[in-house]
Structure 1
């Protein structure tokens, strides 16, 4: 039995689809009603704050795809403790590429590093997935593209080797279902680093309509983030953007090809497949 967490999220949902009907799969979710699981997939309630629910979700599970999102919290520690009790053999953990950057010492990166350490020290087999930024993050531009034909973001000329979430999910599925991935840490990127200005131009061409890029000032970006996140997370996002501006996110890795046997998907390919999200309503 394979347990998938984060199935309502960007990568977890793709992992669920990638596992298909060939494997016994269970999904853990705080609200099972929100999970669009394929036929034959068991969906159970589970909450990192409820150890009893974790024990029930993990019963009979041998492998786990683990996603946590409460920055600074102890969800990983609580879950891994329950996984050991249940006899889980292998955990595939969604982490982040920033953990490898010595210049990254913000709250989010420190939290991910600690989560990785907890898993490595757990006594279970582990695989770490360290993606660069998701190509799907550009969906946050959809509203302004539809209504104004404008993309607004910070440091638009800085490059990021962003990755297609579908590629992350395929690597996760292989790690969960094939031998040879235990004890490996996979940094996952797209085939080349791109800027927001370049992404705007590619979306414009695909949509067949002019789009304009407008640079957002750092103070404006922080104010917008502050409407959604606590101050420590805003600071982490700001530092991450500064590292991208300084070239920390341009390195391209061959990992997707090495694990899956095919090239990593390009932003243009991802955008073409998700173009409807950017079209006027």
Structure 2
């Protein structure tokens, strides 16, 4: 049995789908807080209700599990520690943990990166087989542009001229599937990127090309970005994201790594590929266009 956490999110759901496509019909169980958010799951997938903060529910979900995909989101809440304790007690042999590429950057000392470093240490000290996945920013983050693209033909972003080797979350999921079911990944940490480092300007140009319009790019100042991020995140996380943007501006996120191809045996998906597969999310309303600048 393989347990997948985070199955209501983009990456976790892609892991479930990837496991389902494998020959041999792997047994898959998903741990979710709200099963109503899961739609269209294969009938063979078992759904259990639980929460990282509820150790009894973790113990129940991990019964009979041999490998687990671990994705946590609550910064500083100790979720990784509780999960690892429950997994070790249940006899889980292998854990594949999603972390972040920034953990390898000595200049990254923000609260999110420090939390991820601590989480990695917990997993690596667990006594179980472990694999760490360290993705760069997800291409799917650009879905946040959809409302302004639809209404105004505008993309608003920080550091629009700086480069980020963003990765398709489906590639992260594909590497996770390989690590969950294959050999040779124990004790490995994979930094996962796309095939090229792109600026927001270049991403907006590609998105506009596929939509058949020109999109304007507006650079957000720090105060505007702080206000926008503050609608979705607590203050400490907002500050961490702003610090991360500064590091991107300094060139800390532009290195392209070969791990996706090395693990999966195929090239990493491009941003062009990602846009083509998600274009409906940006379909325009109205007819007016705008120039990219």
TM, length-normalised to structure 2: 0.95
C-alpha distance in structure 2 between counterparts of 1:84 and 1:62, whole Å: 10
2:26 to 10, 23, 28: 23
Structure 1 residue 51: deviation in Å? 1.1
- The residue that corresponds to 1:114 in the other structure is 118
Equivalent residue in structure 1 for 2:83, among 79, 85, 92: 79
**Is 1:238 equivalent to 2:242 in the alignment?**
yes
1:29-66 deviations in whole A, cap 9, x for unaligned?
A: 01122223211110001111111111110000000000
State yes or no: 1:153 paired with 2:157: yes
Q: Deviations over 1:191-247 (max 9, x none)?
A: 000000000100111000121111111111011112222211111000000000000
| 5+ long unaligned stretches in structure 2 | 286-293
Q: 1: CA distance between counterparts of 2:51 and 2:207?
A: 38
Please name the residue that 2:38 is paired with.
35
- Structure 2 CA distance for aligned equivalents of residues 150 and 203 of structure 1: 11
Task: Give 1:280 shift.
Answer: 2.4
Q: Is 1:265 matched with 2:269?
A: yes
Residue 102 of structure 1, CA deviation: 0.3
What is the rounded CA distance, in whole Å, between the counterparts of 1:65 and 1:20 in structure 2?
A: 14
User: In 2, distance between residues paired with 1:109 and 1:264?
Assistant: 24
Count of residues in Structure 1 that have an aligned counterpart in Structure 2: 281
TM-score by length of 1: 0.99
* Mapped partners of 1:224, 1:255: distance in 2: 33
Runs of 4+ in 1 over 2 A off after TM superposition: none
Greater CA drift, 29-38 or 42-51: 29-38
The correspondence of residues 1-281 of structure 1 with structure 2, limited to 5 A, is 1-20=1-20, 22-36=25-39, 37-280=41-284
What SS is found at the alignment partner of 2:68?
strand
CA deviations over 1:97-119 (Å, ceiling 9, x no partner):
00000000000000000000000
Distance 1:120 1:72 in 2: 18
Distance in 1 of aligned mates of 2:283 and 2:234: 32
**2:288 is matched with which residue?**
none
- Give secondary structure in 2 for the equivalent of 1:174: helix
Alpha-carbon distance between aligned partners in 2 of 1:208 and 1:10, rounded to the nearest angstrom: 26
Gapped regions of structure 1 (runs ≥ 5): none
Q: Once superposed, what is the RMSD of the aligned Cα atoms? A: 0.8
Once residues 280 and 151 of structure 1 are traced to their aligned partners in structure 2, the CA distance between those partners, rounded to angstroms, is 13
Per-residue Cα deviation, 1:128-152 (whole angstroms, up to 9, x for no partner): 0000000000000000001110001
